[in-house]
Amino acid sequence: MTQLTTTHKSNQLNTDVIEEILSAVTSIEYGSVEVVIHDGRVVQIECRKKIRLNQSKPNRKTLEP
């Protein structure tokens, strides 16, 4: 397994973790990705997906008498 070096305490981040983070980022159009780290290690990846609804004004027709 390929290892990539991080800048924190010479810990290494494996490609599985990197792929999970990239997958989370690319899977949402609006929202956020939070990476939780304990003791210099990634322990959790949280995704918050936002759904944007079309907020255009509806066409209102006035009723004629």
Q: pLDDT tens digit string along 23-51?
A: 999 999 999 999 999 998 999 999 999 98
When pLDDT is averaged across residues 13-22 and rounded to a whole number, the result is 93
Taking 90 as the threshold, does the pLDDT of residue 65 lie above it? no
When pLDDT is averaged across residues 7-28 and rounded to a whole number, the result is 83
What is the pLDDT at residue 55?
75
Nearest 5°: CA angle at 20, between 7 and 35?
A: 55
Report the distance separating Cα 65 and Cα 60, nearest Å: 16
Q: What is the pTM of this model?
A: 0.61
